[in-house]
Structure 1
């Protein structure tokens, strides 16, 4: 069930007139790191006499993040740490609907704001009233997962959950939460139903996001994070160890009540049911007879591994269990997802509430080794802190941090173990599953986008491959070394040891990373973590920076680009076959042109504009034939920091299907910085195109404007400029293709925004296979013979081709 917070609750960061007091204040900002979507990832403030106070946080956040009137931030958590920092975490809402993975944190010490970090989503004109209800959304999610059986369909599992939660209403059946979720395929946010779908056969568990308007599955985030089989399982690898057990009814069982709310280890008896799992017991508390053909000694490793991991996080980082609230850690050993098939389960995973271990088969021995246990519980730590989405770069970081904890726990409990190998004890085929010291040896990259970097869609975007970069960064940070990486960078790192490296990694993950963090964000966050722990300019901060340089992320320590050099992101249209910019006029800039291959560099052409003045800019589109609806965005980098993300730097925003000359008026802010800066004009047929996109159809042109009389200080502050932006008036933004009714039962009507007739329509299923049993005539598609489901429609007007999804009821 979704919840919309009341206006009163959301006023914590809404409608704050005090933000205007910070609009022109560049002097308090030390540095700013930007995300790919043009929003700040980390803003550091100067520790001067006029430093922002913690009480200023709402206004500072609204100003720095350029929140719209529809955006609100709700305080959700406040924590203090051992360094004296107070961390206040805020959740973004758009028109009262939670924006998934959009969290921002204020970091303060002694009452002063030191920095803010996190991620927000730019949401514009999103309809937050769902077109389909939660029940229909769940059907689409289940169709996407395609399981034979789900946990809520098993009466025993449902009863077990009610008992476990001490709640008669507890159920595995997803209820659905309405959220705003980024749709990567569309390149923009969407209203979505979020479901926690736990499938029993085949086994999987993931958050599945269903577009609440189209019914399309737009994303999934795995909760069960397969380690692709890592670690060691039998006690012969860890030797004879002592472990806390529990005396019960005249015998002993693998339960420990001395750590948090407990550590419990159960026997699944080569089945896939958790409710029928039983205790491992021993009559004399001497578990020597467990070294048998059934690999029962694997349970001892799981129990010892969980205890060791708990001790590491508690004693080194002050963390009480994975959630820092003493949560019970449950282990299930001898798990088999397909009982009776004669093949052991070759994996281990954390499913969001418990650890599960298979017995292995052809590749692995039982997967209960020390580094596997630490790796999997490390996923639980991540879920309770950064919550890194399990795909692409954020998923690689998720996997990499778990490997880091596997190495750290091994080093903490037994420095004689192969700290830098992952899964060396259980792998029957290779020396190890992964190597942190030499990732290439096991098919992983040691350099960002270098040798063995994975670019496909398998393995959730290569999470078990590209994690090698974070692994090698940690190895270089701890051990040091010099050499030349895959991209030709000659590096030298002075190692700081596993203990310090672990503390920096922990603070990075738990304080500075968020769900969609990528490698660039991890670099920024870890440098900040090193500053917090060891001081700005410390040897540890330099080692962190140089270790990232060694793996191809960022510059080496002490490398400062010339302060006058500003590099702007790329913006280019892929095709100018149908539309392009044919006229731009501002002051003495007056250029008439034909198509320029998607981008024109006119920075050699300039005009002067005075701070505080009103300016009129004229522009128009050229069309090959049909006048399509186009989106115009015009930007000026008023504070000269190399981006167009500040409030007011978008000076024109709107859409039009006219080929005539359009005009807009804007006011240059008095807080603009004097000197030469960038004017960017973007024409695109996609409303989601921003200042930093390579997009399909359209063109970008760049020019130079010289600002005179500005009061702004040097670039780098990133302060908001109080400029007045302009729109194109009442022109309504239209979709290129409108389909109705959608979902459709028999006939789907197709209308193009250009008013041109559609001359062809091709339907494919979600696998990409063309569907034959449809007919198209006079703008109507007969879908009566289609099976129920989601399909892709490709429509052409004889010039352009458009793609839209539809649902057959």
Structure 2
């Protein structure tokens, strides 16, 4: 379960898959409980080396893209094996902007506060047009209306809430920065910043300066040879910024005889050789080990710019970064030598891989994962190309002050945590929520997974991990990042997805799955492996537990064949393994319960929930089956409820919550009382759960609409060839459009609609059907 209360991963039995890829909308409707305003649109499909098809879908709400919210179906031979991702549950959000894009841009520019921007440099604008072979290309930001989580309203009711915002890609030249800036389209306030340039306070690439005598591909040029080559993807190119911050003024490094020994000079020109060799080595690693063709898996050209400097007077730029399209390296000053070492180069290109896969948002835990994966690739590429180096240190070649920038084997040595929320864990907002500090947890997880070890972590947990080697660890990490993680993933999600990746690659119950689980336990994320073959990953329920049972607790629960008398159970009791009573859909049921007291009898509220649609939530309509008023009595109380006909057949969860606070719900850590969970079996109900529409009628998405996208007309085909009684078309604002005409015989004329996204609602007089379509 994600921290948003929605499933992060749902796995299905391989011998009885629930869906095929053609059932995508059905899978999302049933497993995510999509509302009338939600849509999941397919964005891309990739086939991996195991033969899995990964079909990624982007979330939209009322036709507006929901940033960092995507879900992927993972299928083998057409059958969906699992589904994973991040889904944002949005209700009653006004998607009509009150702030114009131009006004929002001014707010974003004021927030960035740069002296000069890339689009203000005519040479850079011309260079971009030439680079993209597009006369319309420009660095000037174009506003895009999206929905994004508010991350800049800490301490207010708006914090973490879905917000309609204008999104801008702002590239500043002086001082250099590049980030997506999100401006609230109702208030004009900046609500989020997602950095494209990932600074590491160090960076590096190719060269004899750090890696001895190496061979690298070049090409002939006027005057000899230059650091370019076309044998890898669309090419790898390395340029000389000549201690300026201009990319368009950068020139080639030229050598007369293709023997670059004279580059070991006072200007550190040999750092360019590190950059070029490092880029080639990183490309080779991802291609040969993971089957990935450059960072975007489509052969993208890798450009590196060395001797970059935007400091006053050319004092020395102590950083390196990936800006979304190229690598940039400074020469360093007091802290660093030129930042072009092999592990730094691989780290920065690793950010490019991330931007083309998980696209982890560069803040807080997702940002720490972003940084951590880049360090993992720095270590892996260094081990692949230069195994004699210190694999588990990052930046050891370039740091003039410390042994390294970061240590994966001992993060504490460089001020990083090796345990989740342990020593050195950063809880503030600086450095985008501590992305360079808290990445130490992922780094150490990878080290433990590869090397193994035992001990006690900062949480007092004893651990023991049997290492599986860096090669197997890297395959699991790569699959986790490239297949499962999404933009908003946190450490809990990384654990879930890496365990699933180990199962995919090596099988459930394998030594690799056990090692992955125990390595997470070592760094304080989740329990150790329990042994045996774990049950299939499916619905995960939120935690509900009282902090104290010193005064009151649940002492009796009875429903059908279930009867349990008990004392205090430490605030929570898991009775799901007990025999489950059978509840028949449409029948009336009675549940009995009582409170036990230690001394004084307090006023207690009881709430009973049943997850009728088996989606892991108790917040859906009708699932709060009992809400009993406060009572100080210890006598047995009884409440009645009726099992709905729409309840899904099979075993599901019953939750009983007793609290002295009426506000305690289904998912809480609360003060006094107790929670008890049980299983019940539904029979005679629906084979699948319906999606409830805004009218209260049961709405279904299972009908055919084609072609989609459409230009002039749509064909509507209801199940069992039922007759269409009514048709309604809504635009992205939810307003009824009269420009579409239903002409009978399943034919809907949409020629009069403007281009865009619409919702089609159709009824056969008994069932309401709803689906989105695009008018081109």
Fold conserved between structures, TM > 0.5: yes
Match of 2:120 among 150, 153, 159: 153
Cα distance in 2 between the residues matched to 1:408 and 1:470: 14
Q: Does 1:366 align with 2:315?
A: no
Q: RMSD of the TM alignment (CA)?
A: 3.8
Cα distance in 1 between the residues matched to 2:427 and 2:259: 50
Match of 1:330 among 303, 311, 316: 303
Match of residue 439 from structure 2: 467
Deviation track 1:22-64 (CA, whole Å, cap 9, x = no partner) reads xxxxxxxxxxxx1011111100001224643232232112110
Match of residue 655 from structure 2: 677
Whether the 8 Å CA contact 1:651–1:666 is kept in 2: the answer is no
Q: How far apart are residue 704 of structure 1 and its match?
A: 6.9
Q: TM-score, normalised by structure 2?
A: 0.75
Q: Does 1:638 align with 2:616?
A: no
Q: Does the C-alpha gap of structure 1 residues 106 and 558 become closer, same or farther in structure 2, counting only changes over 3 Å?
A: same
Whether the 8 Å CA contact 2:171–2:178 is kept in 1: the answer is yes
Match of 1:224 among 197, 213, 227: 197
Q: How far apart are residue 672 of structure 1 and its match?
A: 7.5
Cα distance in 2 between the residues matched to 1:453 and 1:559: 30
Q: Does 1:138 align with 2:111?
A: no
Whether the 8 Å CA contact 1:77–1:90 is kept in 2: the answer is yes
Match of residue 612 from structure 1: 586
Match of 1:43 among 10, 26, 29: 10
Match of 1:103 among 60, 65, 70: 70
SS at match of 1:636: strand
Whether the 8 Å CA contact 2:205–2:275 is kept in 1: the answer is no
Deviation track 1:230-286 (CA, whole Å, cap 9, x = no partner) reads 457752320011111110124211111111111111111111111111111111111
Cα distance in 2 between the residues matched to 1:240 and 1:602: 65
Q: How far apart are residue 567 of structure 1 and its match?
A: 7.6
Q: Does 1:350 align with 2:322?
A: yes
Q: Does 1:569 align with 2:543?
A: yes
Q: Does 1:116 align with 2:88?
A: no
5+ residue gaps, structure 2, are 548-556, 560-570, 576-581, 592-605, 627-639, 697-776
5+ residue gaps, structure 1, are 1-33, 574-585, 589-599, 618-632, 654-663, 714-718, 729-809
Q: How far apart are residue 558 of structure 1 and its match?
A: 2.0
SS at match of 1:57: helix
Q: Does the C-alpha gap of structure 1 residues 441 and 244 become closer, same or farther in structure 2, counting only changes over 3 Å?
A: same
Q: Does the C-alpha gap of structure 1 residues 301 and 649 become closer, same or farther in structure 2, counting only changes over 3 Å?
A: farther
Q: Does 1:534 align with 2:501?
A: no
Match of 1:252 among 225, 243, 256: 225
Match of residue 372 from structure 2: 400
Q: Which moved more, 1:350-359 or 1:250-259?
A: 250-259
Q: How far apart are residue 317 of structure 1 and its match?
A: 0.7
SS at match of 2:426: coil
Superposition pairs for residues 782-797 of structure 1, below 5 Å? none
Match of residue 19 from structure 1: none
Q: Does the C-alpha gap of structure 1 residues 130 and 292 become closer, same or farther in structure 2, counting only changes over 3 Å?
A: same
Match of residue 527 from structure 2: 555
Q: Does 1:163 align with 2:130?
A: yes
Superposition pairs for residues 427-442 of structure 1, below 5 Å? 427-442=399-414
Cα distance in 1 between the residues matched to 2:347 and 2:277: 14
Q: TM-score, normalised by structure 1?
A: 0.72
Match of 1:94 among 47, 58, 61: 61
Match of residue 495 from structure 1: 467
SS at match of 2:82: strand
SS at match of 1:437: coil
- Aligned residue pairs total 634
Whether the 8 Å CA contact 1:39–1:645 is kept in 2: the answer is no
Whether the 8 Å CA contact 2:203–2:344 is kept in 1: the answer is yes
Q: How far apart are residue 70 of structure 1 and its match?
A: 0.6
Q: Does 1:194 align with 2:151?
A: no
Q: Does 1:78 align with 2:78?
A: no
Whether the 8 Å CA contact 1:233–1:425 is kept in 2: the answer is no
Superposition pairs for residues 731-770 of structure 1, below 5 Å? none
Q: How far apart are residue 463 of structure 1 and its match?
A: 0.6
Cα distance in 2 between the residues matched to 1:516 and 1:649: 30
Deviation track 1:88-108 (CA, whole Å, cap 9, x = no partner) reads 111111111111111111001
Cα distance in 2 between the residues matched to 1:553 and 1:408: 23
Q: How far apart are residue 671 of structure 1 and its match?
A: 4.1
Cα distance in 2 between the residues matched to 1:705 and 1:495: 37
Q: Does the C-alpha gap of structure 1 residues 205 and 286 become closer, same or farther in structure 2, counting only changes over 3 Å?
A: same
Q: How far apart are residue 216 of structure 1 and its match?
A: 1.0
Q: How far apart are residue 147 of structure 1 and its match?
A: 1.1
Whether the 8 Å CA contact 1:349–1:357 is kept in 2: the answer is yes
Q: Does 1:176 align with 2:143?
A: yes
Q: Does the C-alpha gap of structure 1 residues 215 and 666 become closer, same or farther in structure 2, counting only changes over 3 Å?
A: farther
Match of residue 505 from structure 1: 477
Match of residue 762 from structure 2: none
Q: Does the C-alpha gap of structure 1 residues 666 and 516 become closer, same or farther in structure 2, counting only changes over 3 Å?
A: farther
Match of residue 178 from structure 2: 205
Whether the 8 Å CA contact 2:204–2:274 is kept in 1: the answer is no
Q: Does the C-alpha gap of structure 1 residues 96 and 216 become closer, same or farther in structure 2, counting only changes over 3 Å?
A: same
SS at match of 2:199: coil
Match of residue 785 from structure 1: none
Q: Does the C-alpha gap of structure 1 residues 460 and 723 become closer, same or farther in structure 2, counting only changes over 3 Å?
A: closer
Cα distance in 2 between the residues matched to 1:709 and 1:518: 34
Cα distance in 2 between the residues matched to 1:526 and 1:649: 35
Q: Does the C-alpha gap of structure 1 residues 634 and 343 become closer, same or farther in structure 2, counting only changes over 3 Å?
A: farther
Whether the 8 Å CA contact 2:574–2:676 is kept in 1: the answer is yes
